[in-house]
Chain A
Amino acid sequence: MSKINKAILNIENLRQTAQKDQWVNRIHPLVKLFLTIFYIAIVVSMNKYHLLGTLVLAIYPVFIFIVGEVSFKDALRRLRIVLPLVCIVGILNPFFDRTIVTYVNLGFATSKYPDGMLAVSGGFVSFFSLMIKGVLTVFASYLLIATTTIEDICYSLRKIHVPKVIVTQVLLIYRYITLLLSEVNKITQAYELRAPGQKGVAFKAWGSLVGRLLLRSMDRADEVYESMCLRGFKGDFDITRQWYGESNKNTFIGDLSFAIIWTGLILVLKLVPVSYIIGSLFI
């Protein structure tokens, strides 16, 4: 399957997952947007040597994965873009930061480690903690989009008074992406059939191939605008609609409690060394 077809399929899958009628999906989008940003901010604020503390923060994505019945496989697939980048930035940390921050008890002695203690440098810890942060932040934003449609995110952005010029065009970009991706797919397929064995578009066709699509898209924008006006579009979309009602079984109090509980829990995990406290109860 071509890259473009995969992208179209990906967008469609996300839309279907986000449109499911279940509790997490029905939570007010503003609550999920706030929680996601807050969670990501807390994750990236964790001390670079606080590996366990960062790891414990995984409970929020785990909770949403299970309750929201979101595919873990799709989430893992999204990591392939971010993790290599994060890895490149952090991979040299072990070479530059050689301060010993902890010892690992191997449980046996060797000629190299006569006391059985393996020294771990700060660079290694910070590298692994960076990778965990990369995974958690990607999961958090994936869970937002997998449980909330773009329309609902735009609705929440308008609710917090993000200008309609930005929000409406975000919505329009989303609506047109599939359309233009299919068009690009057709064009590149036609090109590939006429230029067999050639990788990519040759420089001779750079301008004309994309230029024609651009002109067609501009014309289409005119047509779409006219048809939108005929259907009553006034440059904004409806933000007066009530989120809670007959079609939404969730309640305002329920969603508010969800937000408060998770904000509190994330804060506790950030401020209190929970993993050490729980561990000390048993050891």
Chain B
Amino acid sequence: MHMADALVTAPVAATMYGMSGITAGYSVHKVRLENNAKKIPVMGIMGAFVFATQMINFTIPGTGSSGHLCGGMLLSALLGPFAGFLTMIGVLLVQCLLFADGGILALGCNVWNMAFYGCFLGALLIWRPAMKRGATKAKILFASIAGCVLTLQLGAFSVTIETLLSGITELPFKTFLLAMQPIHLAIGLVEGLITGAVLCFVHEARPELLWEVNEENKKEGRFSFETTMIILLVASLVIGGIVSLFASSYPDGLEWSMERITGSTELEAAGAVYETADSIVSATALLPDYAFKGTESALGTTFSGIVGALIVLGVSVGVCYLFRFFKKKEKASN
């Protein structure tokens, strides 16, 4: 998801530098308040750790492909959101300088897309509430998967917006979004599982290293694996429904501005290739244009969101149970 310099224009890059800069400034202030001199070396080594472990390929069961670790979520679960965010800036800067992974001008965008959501939304909205009554394996897995999915979905959404605002691609907003979101959903699930597995290990070996884990208020059984999955299901249905409603209205704003510039709400395209591609898309679309065929209603859009969320959840719950099944089998064999 690293954006290259060529994919942004100077105003977009400057805006994103500004937003990331303000967040970094606030994070620096918060880290300074902690007054822990040890923090900087720990941040340094954790940044290098994330960098190095991203070179490890983790085999995804049942597929021939492999995934990587999600840096933002892992760092904030260990260092807290503020130090985690600053460490991610370091990792992204070093990645861009040493390996051309992302660009110097696009650094502000990359920090926002990859560090902000994972470190702040993932840590403050998911990790902290989940760990309030002590950590369990199920809760750690839930927080990691939900955090990573959220990070990657919002990150991919931001990449789409930034590229479109930069005027780099002629792709219509919806097409671009539809290409970006599903693939990052799958990546998010895998990264969440890997990150969760590592954090579960840390929890077993050295629970004091995890951020905001309150072991004193721990109440076993209150937040079981099954409850976690039900909460995840309900939350995703609600979020899927609400986000889809926004998705139905947001492009209208973009189409409105497009109409002002081009005089039309759609980008005109013609030709054999476009027509063939269009007919393939129309024939294979499960829920064309996010809605019921032939309707433009918000209800139809919401329904698409819910169906999408159900499919995603079905897959994620399946993967989780698969994971659990193998774990049990492993325990039984021991």
Instruction: Name the one of A41, A85, A175, A204 contacting B105, with C-beta atoms under 8 angstroms.
Output: A41
Nearest CB in chain B to that of A33: its residue: B104
Q: Main SS of the interface on chain A?
A: helix
User: B146-154, B211-219, B230-238, B264-272: which lies at the A interface?
Assistant: B264-272
Nearest CB in chain A to that of B273: its residue: A95
- For the complex formed, measure the closest distance between the CB of A140 and the CB atoms of chain B, giving whole angstroms: 8
Given contacts A41-B105, A172-B44, A201-B58, 16 further A-B contacts (CB under 8 A): A40-B105, A44-B10, A78-B100, A95-B273, A95-B277, A96-B274, A134-B4, A137-B5, A169-B90, A170-B47, A173-B48, A175-B44, A176-B45, A176-B47, A208-B201, A214-B201
For chains A and B in complex, what number of residue pairs have CB atoms within 8 angstroms?
A: 273
Nearest CB in chain A to that of B4: its residue: A82
User: B192-200, B240-248, B280-288, B310-318: which lies at the A interface?
Assistant: B192-200
Which A residues have a C-beta under 8 Å from some C-beta of B?
3-4, 7, 10-11, 14, 36-37, 40-41, 43-45, 48, 78-79, 81-82, 85-86, 89-90, 92-93, 95-98, 123, 126, 130, 133-134, 137-138, 140-142, 144-145, 150, 153, 163, 165-166, 168-177, 179-181, 183-184, 188, 198-204, 206-215, 217-218, 220-222, 224-225, 228, 235
Q: Which residues of A are found within 8 Å of B61, using beta-carbon distances?
A: 202-203
Given contacts A41-B13, A130-B6, contact A210 B28 (CB under 8 A): no
B45 close to A210 (CB less than 8 A): no
Instruction: Name the one of B13, B89, B104, B205 contacting A211, with C-beta atoms under 8 angstroms.
Output: B205
Q: Which residues of A are found within 8 Å of B326, using beta-carbon distances?
A: 203-204
Q: Which residues of B are found within 8 Å of A183, using beta-carbon distances?
A: 52
A11 close to B98 (CB less than 8 A): yes
Instruction: Name the one of A126, A207, A222, A224 contacting B198, with C-beta atoms under 8 angstroms.
Output: A207
Q: Which residues of A are found within 8 Å of B51, using beta-carbon distances?
A: 173, 177, 180-181
Q: Supply 7 A–B pairs (Cβ within 8 Å), ascending by A.
A: A41-B105, A44-B10, A90-B169, A98-B270, A173-B94, A202-B59, A221-B45
Mask: chain B, 27-59; 1 = CB below 8 Å from A; 0 = not? 010011000011111111111110111011111
Nearest CB in chain A to that of B319: its residue: A203
Nearest CB in chain A to that of B29: its residue: A163
B206 close to A (CB within 8 Å) = yes
A89 close to B98 (CB less than 8 A): no
B55 close to A181 (CB less than 8 A): yes
Q: Main SS of the interface on chain B?
A: helix
Q: Which residues of A are found within 8 Å of B268, using beta-carbon distances?
A: 98
Cα–Cα, bound, A210→B57 (Å): 11
Given contacts A142-B100, A170-B93, contact A198 B59 (CB under 8 A): yes
B7 close to A (CB within 8 Å) = yes
Q: Which residues of B are found within 8 Å of A235, using beta-carbon distances?
A: 37, 40
A166 close to B89 (CB less than 8 A): yes
Nearest CB in chain A to that of B202: its residue: A211
Given contacts A134-B4, A142-B100, contact A203 B169 (CB under 8 A): no
A3 close to B55 (CB less than 8 A): yes
Cα–Cα, bound, A181→B99 (Å): 14
B201 close to A203 (CB less than 8 A): no
Central interface residue in B32, B37, B57, B97, by most chain A CB within 10 Å: B97
